[in-house]
Amino acid sequence: MADITDIKSILYTEKTLSLQEKGVVVVQTTPRVTKNSLKELFRVYFGVLPKKINSCAVGGKTKRFRGIEGKRNDLKKFFVTLPDGAAIEALTA
């Protein structure tokens, strides 16, 4: 099962802020997190049972720095739809 440390960040961009107004939170996690484990994590830690969860796996890009090739970490994005009237206290502050 996933742990709260698997959530890397909540994304705040122009697009995600407009989604938050509609009750959708965009969360960036490690690749091992599944929809069911994220649903349970939201229920336990935030006290909200998500209505719907969509996922998007993003592979890390290969980059070059001073001639040395490296790779960014893989990650997963989840679009978590909250029930009507529900909110996460940490996001509303």
| Residue pLDDT tens, the chain, 93 long | 777 888 898 999 999 999 988 989 999 999 999 999 999 998 998 888 999 999 999 999 999 999 999 999 999 999 999 998 777 766 654
Give the distance from CA 9 to its chain's centroid.
7
Say if residues 82 and 50 touch (Cβ distance below 8 Å): yes
Task: Report the pLDDT value the prediction gives residue 91, as an integer from 0 to 100.
Answer: 64
Task: Identify the DSSP state of 61.
Answer: P
Q: What phi-psi label fits residue 80: left (phi over 0), alpha (psi between -120 and 50 degrees) or beta?
A: beta
Q: What is the DSSP letter of 55?
A: E
Tally of CA atoms within 13 A in the half-sphere of 40 that contains its CB: 9
The arrangement of secondary structure in 4-58+72-83, i.e. its CATH architecture, is 2-Layer Sandwich (3.30)
Counting every residue written for the chain, the total comes to 93
Enumerate the domain spans of the chain: 4-58+72-83
Lookup: tokens for 45: 């830690």
pLDDT of residue 93: 43
